[in-house]
Amino acid sequence: MLAIQGITQVFGGLTALDDVTFTINRNDITGVIGPNGAGKTTLFNIISGIYTPTTGTISLDGRNITKFPPERLAAFGMVRTFQNIELFGQMTVLENVMVGLHTKSRCGIISCAFKMPWHLHEERRIRETAHTWLRFCGIDELADTTAANLPFGKGRLLEIARALALEPQIIFMDEPAAGLNSRETMGLADLIRKIRDRGITVVLVEHDMELVMDVCDRILVLNLGKKLAEGTPREIQENPAVIAAYLGEG
């Protein structure tokens, strides 16, 4: 569904991504792995419209979306989470998810300011839907907590809940297990499968190999900005180039 074609990203003199080509299949869980600085986050930034690549194209179901800004991609059902959690810190957990429903509501400044009847109706619907997503991610009891005060693991879950509220067709997660303990990581694996079972395509960057090998259908390996390998978890585990890169690193 999502085709990444010859993506190159140059920052000043540094080539963060070098001619990366890859395809993400609908309803797969795809993993992107690679050592630190391999360019995984940069790839996500490009796909989610935060950077425009130096060269190359991204297309979604045949439509060229390379230059689309994030807010436009959101309307196409593409959403992401962040490696360094980007919550709306001063807002409550519930409100964070309600912002995720922004594209699912219509009222403009005037009808909000004058509290038109349809605005009240919409507001109620947003609130209820937001609770549904909090329940889905298992953090509904924290609805009224200020997001900045959340423990780290819950913050990661909130980012996922907020992203799901858009009802995306594809979600990108940047290191969702980083900083989680092993019990939380297991919960996360279940959640990721549950998300896929709703028909959402999942792409995740992750360092936790156990998790990646466990949940992913296909894996892309990046190293120093280049595509090193792609394939099923099994193929990747047996790929000599990947083994060399990881051993070389360690």
Partner 1 sequence: MNLSDQLIQFLLSGFATGSIYALIGLGFSIIYNATGIINFAQGEFVMLGGMVTVFFLTSLHIPLPAAILGAVAITTFVGLLFERLAIRPIRKATPINLVIITIGGSILIRGLAMLIWGKDTHAIPGFSGEEPIMIGNASLLPQHLWIFGMTTLAIIASKVFFNYTISGKAMRACAFNPRAASLIGIDVKRMVLFSFVISSAMGSVAGFIIAPLTMTSYDVGIMLGLKGFCAAIIGGMSSGLGTVLGGIILGVLESLGAGLISSGYKDAVAFIILLLILFIRPQGIFKRAESERV
Partner 2 sequence: MKRELVKYLLLVAAAVSMPYFFSDGYMMNVLVFVGINTMLAVALNLLLGFAGQISLGHAGFFGLGAYISGVLTATHQVNPWLAMLIAAIAVSFLAFLIGFPILKLKGHYLAMATLGLGIIIYIVFNEAVDITGGPSGLSGIPNLALGSLVFDNDVKNYCLVWTFTIVTILLAVNLAHSRIGRALRAIHDSEVAARVMGVNVRLLKVQIFALSAFISAVAGSLYAHVMTFAAPASFGFHFSVELVTMVIIGGLGSIYGSLFGATLLTLLPELLRTFQDYDIIIYGLILILVTMFMPGGLVQGIPSLLGALLPKKKEGRG
User: CA-to-CA distance for 94 and 162, rounded, in angstroms?
Assistant: 9
Contact range with ligand ADP by CB under 6 A, out of 11-19, 105-113, 115-123, 242-250: 11-19
Residue 134's binding partner among ligand ADP, Mg ion, partner 1, none (Cβ under 5 to 8 angstroms by kind) is none
Does the protein bind partner 2 through residue 95 (CB under 8 A)?
yes
Q: Residue 202 contacts by C-beta under 8 Å, 6 or more apart in sequence?
A: 28, 29, 30, 170, 171, 173, 192, 195, 196
* Position 74 contacts partner 2 (CB under 8 A): yes
Q: Are 116 and 122 in contact (CB under 8 A)?
A: no
Q: Which of residues 133-162 bind partner 2 (CB under 8 A)?
A: 162
Beta bridge partners of residue 7, listed in sequence order: 20
Say how far apart CA 204 and CA 178 lie, in whole Å.
Answer: 12
The two three-digit tokens of residue 108, written as one number: 């403009």
What residues from 41 to 70 belong to the interface with ligand ADP (CB under 6 A)? Answer: 41-42
Pick the piece of the chain touching partner 1 (CB under 8 A) from 7-15, 98-106, 143-151, 155-163: 7-15
Q: Does 26 bind partner 2 (CB under 8 A)?
A: no
Which of 81/185 has CB closer to partner 2?
81
Residue 173 gets the label, from left (phi > 0), alpha (psi -120 to 50) or beta, of beta
- Could you list the residues that contact ligand ADP (CB under 6 A)? 11, 14, 16, 34, 36-42
Residues that bind partner 2 (CB under 8 A): 48, 50, 69-71, 74-75, 79-80, 82, 86-91, 95, 98-103, 105, 107-109, 112-115, 119, 122-123, 126, 162-163, 166
